[in-house]
Amino acid sequence: MARTKEFDRDVALGRAIATFAQHGFEGTSTEALVAAMDIRRQSLYDTFGDKWRLYLEALQRYSSDSIGAQLVALEGAPTGAAGIEALLLQAAARAADDPQPACLGISSICEFGRSEPEVTALNETMGRLLTGAVERRVREAVAAGAFAASLDAAVAAQFVLATLTGIRVAARQGASVAVLRGIADMAMRSFR
């Protein structure tokens, strides 16, 4: 007779995300995962497969949630310029609010680069989604005269993504909310 699960799968996955974000794939032992997720080792294997499958699912969930929240900030503003600013300020606020800021997406790129095809494919898909949306909002801001007419939307979108990464890394290093907001402000001034 099959036993019923004694844990909430989504809660366990959220704890795995936090653990992988803090320590990376290689730096996270199965024992650390079992402890963080508050499940038995066999439950980890029965539910998620193995550590690698769990990592990929955690990265997928983290990326989807993170990109989703970023798109809400970006698309929720009435103008292109306001959308870019909202995206940058949201990144600063979220990073500052996190007592242990870490980004599983960034750490996956730092840890694996392009060596793991499944990680690369996921990161590229999510990156294209956000980049396309940022480019569109930059073009809107240029057309409205809020950003410089000579601004290349593709280059500006890459700059925004690099700034988002920089904000997260600075937060992990201990930067204050004022510093993080200053980075966002400096990025916005560079577009004018």
pLDDT digits (tens, 9 = 90+) for 142-186: 999 999 999 999 999 999 999 999 999 999 999 999 999 999 999
Average pLDDT, the chain: 94
Residue 104 has pLDDT above 90, yes or no: yes
Q: Which two tokens stand for residue 134?
A: 């940022």
Q: Is 138 helix (H, G, I), strand (E, B) or coil?
A: helix
What pTM did the predictor assign? 0.90
Residue 4 has pLDDT above 90, yes or no: no
Contacts 24+ apart (CB under 8 A), 137-144: 137/74, 137/75, 137/80, 137/81, 137/83, 137/84, 138/80, 138/84, 138/191, 139/80, 140/79, 140/80, 140/81, 140/83, 141/79, 141/80, 141/81, 141/84, 141/191, 142/80, 143/80, 144/79, 144/80, 144/81
Asked whether 141 and 60 are in contact (CB, 8 A), the reply is: no
The confidence score (pLDDT) of residue 1 equals 43
DSSP tag of 24:
T
